[in-house]
Structure 1
Amino acid sequence: MPSVPPVPDQLADLPYAHLLTPHTGPLRGDRYDTVHFEGAQEVVSAGGASFLECAFTGTELQGARLRQARFNEVWVQGSRWIAVDCVESEWQDAALVSTVLAGLTAYGSAVRRVTFRQCKLEAVNLRGAALRDVVFEDCLLRDVDFGDARLTEVSFPGSTLEEVRLAGAALKQVDLRGARSLGLPDGPNGLRGAILGSTQLFELAPQFAQALGITVKD
């Protein structure tokens, strides 16, 4: 399993921390460079917004529209993003720490070199998304849909997967060995290209047998 990339634990640890300026006013579809967002955010319409070297700490976003937004070298910590529209957004060289993403819609998005650490993802739609070099470390993924997505070099060390769907997904070097549990309602459908441990394979054996039409009797 590939090593987990270093992720800053504190705002002050960010290489651009000394450049950050506090954000004021509503969040719009503008370009934000080295801006610090903190607390509840009023969103007018932030579709197509661009965030470069920005930090989000304790942010509360409810029903925000961030469709086709770009997040480059951003750090999100201790935040709650509920029912946020991130359809066709782009994430690169980003980190999300101790953050809740619930009811988030991000189908068709591009996620590259991103780390999720101690996050909770619930009812998240990533259908048709492209994920490359992504790490879910010590996360809870519940009702997350990767259907028809492309996952390349994605790992889940210490994470719990519940009702995670992979039907139609294209996997390449997706390492599931470090996951604490695998709740995959689609069974083997979509697992081609995944790396499993022997214990995990044994646990999934009934689903494999059912998919192949095999009856096992002692």
Structure 2
Amino acid sequence: MTRRREPRELDALPYAGHLDAFDGAIEREGAYERVHFDGTVLADAQGGNCRFGESAFSSVTFEGGRFRRSRFDDVWLHSVRFVGTDLAETTWLDGECTASVLAGVQVHAAALHRTVFHQCKFDSVNFRGSTLKDVVFVDCLLRDVDFGGASLTAVSFPGSTLDAARLDRAALTRVDFSGALALGIASGIEALRGATISSLQMLDLAPALARHIGLTVKDG
């Protein structure tokens, strides 16, 4: 299981001294190595099949835009807003995202490996069919997030709140929800097989689990 670690500041990145300020426009199939995107608004950017390597995003806003099949290797994001952005089929490796917001974002069929989210807000984000491995959500809010059909391996949620999460047909392996502040499951309760939850979470989920197995609970 990926360890919980504290978020890093920009100057703590091993490539911080080699970053060049972004100047221009995002282009389809573009390559952006050691680039610092700072205070930029990217509206309806068409960045499909791009590659971002050892790059940093500070206070950047993505308004819409399409980044399908793009690759993000060793990227650092802080105070970034994704609103209605298409990140489907993207690949994320060794990423770190802090104090950011993702709202109405498509991340289906994506692959996230060794990625950490700190104090981020996810609202109506679609992870359907994605593969998450060694991913940690630390002190995050995940509201109406859809993990339907996704594969989650060694994923944990320390200090996070899940509200109306959907797990239909998801495959969970070594997934640890026990550190979450709240575990609200809207559908797919049966997918919790293979996951770890706390005793308090078990009590909260008991009615849904009883309904799933057809158990009638009757007092008196």
TM-score, normalization: structure 2? 0.95
Aligned match of 2:32: 32
Q: Which runs of 4+ in 1 moved over 2 A?
A: 41-44
Unmatched segments (≥5 aa) in structure 2: none
Give the stretch that moved more between structures: 41-50 or 129-138: 41-50
**What are the superposed Cα offsets for residues 65-107 of structure 1, whole Å, 9 maximum, x if unpaired?**
1111100000000111101100100000000000001111010
Residue 112 of structure 1: aligned partner: 113
What whole-Å deviation, never above 9, does each CA across 1:111-159 have from its counterpart, x for those lacking one?
Answer: 0000000000111000000000000000000010000000000000000
State the one-letter code of the partner of 2:16: A
- Which residue of 1 is the match for residue 22 of structure 2? 23
Q: Which residue of 2 aligns with 1:11?
A: 10
Count of aligned positions: 217
- Which residue is equivalent to 1:88? 89
Counterpart position of 2:69: 68
| Distance across 1 between alignment mates of 2:109 and 2:56 | 24
Structure 2: how far apart are the matches of 1:7 and 1:153? Answer: 19
For residues 162 and 58 of structure 2, what CA distance do their matches in structure 1 show? Answer: 26
Describe how 1:1-218 pairs up with structure 2 within 5 A: 3-8=3-8, 10-29=9-28, 30-39=30-39, 40-42=41-43, 44-186=45-187, 188-218=189-219
Contact 2:169 2:188 in 1 (8 A): no
By how many angstroms is 1:3 displaced? 2.7
1:129–1:156 CA distance, 2 compared to 1 (3 A): same
Q: Which amino acid aligns with 2:10?
A: L
User: SS at the partner of 1:208?
Assistant: helix
Letter in 2 for 1:12: D
CA distance in 2, matches of 1:59, 1:175: 31
Secondary structure (helix, strand or coil) at the match of 1:209 reads helix
CA gap 1:2/1:35 in 2 versus in 1, 3 angstroms: closer
- TM-score, structure 1 normalization: 0.96
Contact 1:75/1:95 (<8 A) preserved: yes
Please give the alpha-carbon distance, in whole angstroms, between the structure 2 residues aligned to 1:128 and 1:75: 24
Q: Which sections of structure 1, spanning at least 5 residues, go unmatched?
A: none
- Report if the CA contact (8 A) 2:45-2:64 is conserved: no
Q: Deviations over 1:165-204 (max 9, x none)?
A: 1110000000000000011011522111110111111111
SS at match of 2:167: coil
Q: Distance in 2 between matches of 1:211 and 1:187?
A: 9
CA-CA distance at 1:44 after TM superposition: 4.2
Task: Look up the SS of the partner of 2:116 in the other structure.
Answer: strand
> What is the distance in 2 between the residues matched to 1:112 and 1:88?
13
After superposition, the CA RMSD in angstroms is 1.2
Identity %: 45
